């Protein structure tokens, strides 16, 4: 059974549809990557699934339940965590406070979750009293992911988690995402660094002008000459 | 030199009062994204609430302070629920105009209920202490201690409680707070409650220092905004520092220019900050 | 009230409506058309009123004056003096948006008021400048014609501006500044122009006001009368719509006057102060308008773009 399934989505801003008949699916334990040119609607697709952009037609089903157009806090309590592309930390709060707030909507003791996040990102434990806004780009991305993991999610949605990182950090971040996935968390991520991302992906989607173009396993997409030409720089 | 020290003492006193007002104003500004023009009138309302408690129950002012704070907090939450909440989704500017209207309604209500003339909490003159050439009224120490105590409580609230952290988070990054599942409506209610309570405290302390008058809050509104902007919008610690700086600057300015231009000093600092350092004096992240 | 008294009141009333209509039109140029949130109207109002008061009065007793210039030159002076003031204010606030601009402009207006309050050599301080004459020894009736003529001129001016290419750029700035900048428009210049023109219209209103009441003092330029009422008028009438701005001036003055009647009906013992009660009512009324009809009585109707057919 799929974890989340978006079917025939039409959604956009101010009456203009950006997504047109978009469909996406993530199975439990899968890593699914969305690639596509700038402005293709990748971020919009994630926001629509998370209830941040109104869905005009189509449905989003999560573990068999229709969650179309539910408010974001309901998504969080159901176990969906989302890391936006930009402005994804609370800059004037400490690392620890960022993580604590991630667990705000989830009842119960958060220390086991905190421990789990610190295990995945030991760097965050070291710097837990640091003000998040003054940290390096890579560390901020860790804070952002850590914040999302505090939800103890079944599904983690990441919008361009490696944007602006150095090649070494890109590899490291992708590796972390794989580790998270191995804990049994489904991952849906948008990536510009398609080569590295598709290499670890179970499946991938190519989105262009709000429509599905290709859908295949990660390696198959990498091998697809048309995809390679369009997005992977030849 | 003596004169400067005396002015600095007065400035710190005024500054602590401004700081209390500015902390609330900056949180409201940070969380709700609008300049609340009725904030000064919350101060006045709080001062008059305390006056009623003082006269009816014959209590000392500091005992009336918590009552005034609670009453004003409730009033602030009620105004938000009845008025602001309904127009939050329209345009921020409509909210701003609406807060201007709230200011007028509160001020005229004060005039209708308590009258327009000057009033004081306690009649009779307090003998000032003379420390060498400096003078200090016993009330001044009380005011300063109360302001410092409240600031400390705000600090503990903001850094130690879940709600306080959520409030800072919302002021930091509203969209992310919503994505994280922070309940915006509850945070907003708390923001009004705390903003209202602190404004009331500022009003009561101002009333202790000087006198009560329906426009007492309005005249301090712009210095409070000045402190808010100087400290950086949405930054409570900046607002405290901003309040002290503005208070001292206003008092010290009387060395150079006529005292009647005191308010203009605050505006001038504010306008200069807006132009040259719109993010405030404290270097913040992002 | 007998008929003659009513007539006299009506004349008085309509004069004020006209003067405030002019100010609402000025504000509409800044806010309705360009999206500039100026709540320092009182400052420009005061500059206009004081300038003509100084220029047109006879011998002054301890303040600047004695020029005894004719009415129209006084008004021209109001506008001319306002240009540099508005230009400087517009320049220093050029990069400020909504709330910040609001706070800055109200601060500047208060500085202007404090200036007139404290610089007695110029403005006679709190006592104010008396003896400002209406032109040609006109009464309120004759003066009303002059005011209405100015209302008509101002309306035509701002309406032409609104429909002109210049006005379209202003609206484009208001609605989508980045796109307008990307289209190669000098945003800062257009903004500044709109700010100065709007402020000068307010100064004109101030000048007409000074001659109407015959006396200026800093009291008249407190934010309530100088700024707030004008905003209420524009919001109630419909910002962006020039007819709406003028309708708002009429409606708000009718309401403002009727609060006087209402205040008379309620026993003073109950309300303490009549003027406070009136302010209270107008404040509550504004809240009701904002909550129930934030777009105003006459919402904005955009002029058609060139070549565009108006949809019916
Ligand atoms: N908040 C918004 N309002 C209006 N249009 C938007 C907004 N966000 C994105 N868009 C438009 O939607 C389209 C898709 O954007 P986005 O989903 O961010 O693309 P991607 O993430 O694939 O680069 C773009 O044309 C963009 O201009
Ligand atoms: Mg994107």
| Tens digits of residue pLDDT in C35-81 | 888 989 999 999 999 999 999 988 878 888 888 899 999 999 999 99
Q: Which ligand 1 atom is nearest residue A190's CA?
A: 21
Ligand that comes closest to the CA of residue A34: 1
Q: Which ligand 1 atom is nearest residue A85's CA?
A: 21
From the list B151, B154, B164, the residue with the least C-alpha distance to B190 is: B164
pLDDT band at B99 (very low <50, low <70, confident <90, very high): very high
| Tens digits of residue pLDDT in B235-280 | 888 999 999 999 999 999 999 998 888 888 988 888 888 778 777 7
User: Rounded CA gap, B218 and B103, in Å?
Assistant: 8
Q: Which residues of B touch C (CB under 8 A)?
A: 29, 33-35, 83, 86-87, 90-94, 96-98, 100-102, 104-105, 107-109, 111-113, 115-116, 222, 225-226, 229, 258, 260-261, 263-264, 267-268, 270-271, 274-275, 278
Are A163 and A171 in contact by the 8 Å Cβ rule? The answer is no
- What are the structural domains, with CATH classification, of chain A? 2-231 (3.40.50.300)
Which has more pLDDT, C99 or C186?
Answer: C186
Rounded to the nearest angstrom, the gap between the alpha carbon of residue C186 and the centroid of all alpha carbons in its chain is 27
Closest CB from A87, A97, A131 relative to B175:
A87
Ligand 1 center from residue A174 Cα (angstroms): 25
User: Rounded CA gap, C20 and C230, in Å?
Assistant: 7
Mean pLDDT of chain C: 87
Mutate to test the interface with C, among B39, B82, B104 (most CBs of C within 10 A): B104
Closest CB from B172, B235, B284 relative to A90:
B172
Question: Could you tell me the fold of the domain covering B2-120+128-276?
Answer: ABC transporter involved in vitamin B12 uptake, BtuC (1.10.3470)
How many CB pairs lie under 8 A apart between chains B and C?
A: 128
pTM of the model: 0.88
Closest CB from B96, B101, B226 relative to C102:
B96
- With touching defined as 3 or more inter-chain CB pairs under 8 Å, the answer for chains C and A is no
Are C46 and C123 in contact by the 8 Å Cβ rule? The answer is no
Report CB contact under 8 Å: B285, A84: no
From the list A196, A161, A28, the residue with the least C-alpha distance to A84 is: A161
Q: Which residues of A81-120 are buried (b: 16+ CB within 10 A; e: fewer)?
A: bbbbeeebbbbbbbbbbbbbbbbbbbeeebeebbebbbeb
Domain residue spans of chain C: 13-223
Closest CB from B165, B179, B181 relative to A97:
B165
Between residues 75 and 114 of chain C, which touch chain B (CB distance below 8 Å)? 92-93, 95-96, 98-100, 102-104, 106-108, 110-111, 114
| The pLDDT of residue A122 is above 70 | yes
Report CB contact under 8 Å: B176, A151: no
Domain residue spans of chain B: 2-120+128-276
| Tens digits of residue pLDDT in C228-280 | 889 888 888 888 889 999 999 999 888 888 888 887 887 777 777 788 888 88
Phi first, then psi: what are they for C170, rounded to 5°? -60, -45
User: Rounded CA gap, C44 and B79, in Å?
Assistant: 32
How high is the pLDDT of residue A234? 42
How high is the pLDDT of residue A223? 86
Considering only CB atoms, which chain B residues are within 8 Å of C104? Answer: 270-271, 274
**Cα atoms in the Cβ-side hemisphere of radius 13 Å centred on A160:** 20
How large is the ipTM?
Answer: 0.90
How high is the pLDDT of residue B90? 74
């Amino acid at each position: 059974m799929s974890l989340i399934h978006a079917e025939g989505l039409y959604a956009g801003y101010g009456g203009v549809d950006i997504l047109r008949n978009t469909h996406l699916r993530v199975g439990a334990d899968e890593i699914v990557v969305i690639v596509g040119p700038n402005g293709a609607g990748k971020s919009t697709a994630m926001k629509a699934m998370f209830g941040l952009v109104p869905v005009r037609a189509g449905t989003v089903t999560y573990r068999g339940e229709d969650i179309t157009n539910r408010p974001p806090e309901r998504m969080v309590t159901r176990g969906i965590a989302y890391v936006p592309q930009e402005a994804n930390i609370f800059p004037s709060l400490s690392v620890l406070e960022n993580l604590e707030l991630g667990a705000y909507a989830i009842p119960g003791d958060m220390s086991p979750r905190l421990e789990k996040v610190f295990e995945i990102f030991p760097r965050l434990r070291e710097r837990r009293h640091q003000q998040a806004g003054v940290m390096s780009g890579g560390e901020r991305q860790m804070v952002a992911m850590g914040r999302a993991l505090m939800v103890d999610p079944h599904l983690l949605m990441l919008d361009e988690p490696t944007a602006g990182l150095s090649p070494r950090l890109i590899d490291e971040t992708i590796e972390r995402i794989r580790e998270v996935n191995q804990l049994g968390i489904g991952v849906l991520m948008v990536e510009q660094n398609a080569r590295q991302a598709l290499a670890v992906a179970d499946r991938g989607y190519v989105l262009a002008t709000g429509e599905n173009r290709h859908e295949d396993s990660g390696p198959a997409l990498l091998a697809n000459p048309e995809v390679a030409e369009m997005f992977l720089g030849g | 030199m003596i004169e400067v020290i005396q002015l600095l003492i007065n400035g710190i006193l005024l500054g602590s009062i401004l700081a209390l007002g500015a902390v609330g104003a900056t949180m409201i500004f940070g969380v709700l994204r609008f300049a609340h023009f009725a904030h000064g009138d919350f101060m006045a309302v709080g001062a008059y609430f305390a006056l009623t408690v003082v006269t009816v129950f014959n209590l000392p002012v500091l005992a009336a302070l918590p009552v005034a704070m609670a009453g004003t907090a409730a009033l602030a939450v009620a105004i938000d629920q009845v008025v602001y909440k309904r127009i939050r989704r329209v345009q921020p500017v409509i909210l701003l105009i609406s807060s201007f209207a709230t200011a007028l309604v509160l001020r005229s209500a004060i005039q209708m209920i308590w009258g327009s003339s000057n009033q004081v909490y306690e009649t009779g003159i307090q003998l000032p202490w003379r420390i060498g050439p400096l003078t200090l009224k016993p009330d001044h120490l009380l005011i300063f201690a109360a302001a410092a105590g409240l600031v400390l409580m705000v600090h503990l609230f903001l850094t130690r409680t879940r709600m306080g952290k959520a409030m800072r988070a919302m002021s930091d990054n509203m969209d992310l707070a919503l994505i994280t599942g922070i309940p915006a409506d509850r945070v907003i209610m708390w923001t009004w409650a705390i903003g209202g309570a602190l404004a009331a405290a500022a009003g009561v302390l101002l009333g202790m220092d000087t006198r009560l008058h329906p426009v007492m809050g309005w005249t301090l509104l712009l210095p409070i905004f000045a402190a808010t902007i100087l400290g950086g919008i949405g930054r409570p610690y900046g607002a405290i520092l901003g309040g002290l700086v503005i208070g001292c600057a206003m008092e010290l300015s009387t060395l150079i220019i006529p005292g009647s231009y005191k308010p203009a000093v605050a505006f001038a600092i504010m306008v200069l900050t807006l132009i040259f350092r719109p993010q405030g004096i404290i270097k913040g992240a992002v | 009230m007998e008929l003659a008294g009513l007539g006299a009141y009506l004349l008085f009333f309509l004069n004020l409506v006209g003067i405030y209509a002019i100010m609402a039109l000025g504000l509409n140029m800044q806010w309705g058309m360009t999206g500039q949130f100026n709540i320092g109207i009182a400052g420009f109002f005061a500059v206009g009123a004081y300038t003509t008061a100084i220029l047109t009065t006879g011998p002054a007793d301890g303040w600047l004056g004695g020029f005894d210039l004719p009415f129209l030159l006084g008004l021209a002076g109001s506008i001319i003096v306002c240009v540099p003031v508005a230009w400087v204010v517009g320049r220093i606030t050029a990069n400020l948006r909504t709330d910040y601009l609001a706070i800055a402009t109200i601060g500047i207006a208060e500085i202007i008021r404090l200036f007139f309050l404290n610089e007695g050599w110029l403005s006679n301080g709190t006592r104010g400048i008396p003896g400002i004459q209406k032109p040609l020894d006109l009464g309120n009736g004759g003066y009303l014609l002059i005011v209405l003529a100015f209302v008509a001129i101002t309306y035509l001016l701002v309406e032409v501006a609104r429909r002109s290419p210049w006005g379209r750029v202003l609206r484009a700035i208001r609605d989508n500044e980045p796109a307008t900048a990307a289209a190669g428009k000098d945003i800062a210049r257009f903004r500044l122009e709109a700010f100065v023109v709007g402020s000068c219209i307010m100064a004109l209103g101030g000048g007409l006001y000074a001659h109407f009441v015959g006396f200026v003092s800093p009291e008249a330029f407190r934010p309530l009368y100088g700024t707030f009422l004008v905003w209420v008028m524009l919001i109630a009438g419909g910002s962006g719509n020039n007819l709406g701005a003028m309708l708002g001036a009429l409606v708000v003055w009718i309401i403002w006057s009727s609060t006087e009647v209402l205040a008379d009906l309620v026993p003073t013992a109950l309300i303490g102060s009549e003027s406070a009660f009136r302010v209270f009512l107008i404040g509550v009324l504004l809240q009701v308008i904002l909550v129930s009809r934030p777009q105003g009585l006459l919402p904005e109707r955009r002029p058609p773009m060139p070549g565009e057919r108006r949809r019916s």
